[in-house]
Amino acid sequence: MPISRNPLRRLYGRRDLHFVTFSCYRRRPYLGTVRARNRFVNILDEVRYRHGFELAGYVVMPEHVHLLISEPPRGTPSTVLQVLKQKVSRALRGKRQASPKQFAFRFDAIPEEAPAFWLRRFYHLNVKHAGAYR
């Protein structure tokens, strides 16, 4: 049986920093307002505190985010991103509409209805470093 190679294989447990990028659904500018970006940053801080990872840097753009994070003591960067994306999505969307696949957003820059807030996947790159968090 041939060995399949997964190009999206993520390497955890090596104490590297992790550069991750994730985007809003269809690259829509859901983080295009100061209020939305501030809410994202506040939630990022809550998740960082709760999961105990180091945040070496971040950039919040209107339609995507870049993070440079350490591995949390328990779990992986993947679980951290899952929690972060869920919390941000729930904080920035309004009440559910009749269709479970659509929801309204509270911020003016975001359309009334959309099937998702984030794209499902994220891009990931291990960054080897000899930083102080080791």
Tell me the pLDDT tens digit for each residue of 19-59: 999 999 999 999 999 999 999 999 999 999 999 999 999 99
Angle between helices 34-51 and 77-92 (to 10 degrees): 140
CA distance 69 to 67: 6
3-state secondary structure of 51: helix
Higher-confidence position of 132 and 48:
48
pLDDT of 97 > 50? The answer is no
The label of the residue with tokens 């957003």 reads 105
CA-to-CA dists, residue 62 to 7, 27, 109, angstroms: 28, 9, 10
The overall average pLDDT reported for the chain is 80
Higher-confidence position of 123 and 85:
85
Query: Which is nearest to 57 in space by CA: 67, 65, 47?
Result: 67
CB environment 16-42: b (16+ within 10 A), e (fewer):
bbbbbebbbeeebebbbbeebeebbee
- Give pLDDT, residue 123: 86
- Give pLDDT, residue 128: 73
Q: Pull the structure tokens for residue 122.
A: 């994220």
Which of the listed CATH numbers 3.30.70.1290, 3.90.1150.10, 3.40.50.620, 1.10.3720.10 matches domain 17-127? 3.30.70.1290
pLDDT tens-digit profile of 57-80? 999 999 999 999 998 998 888 999
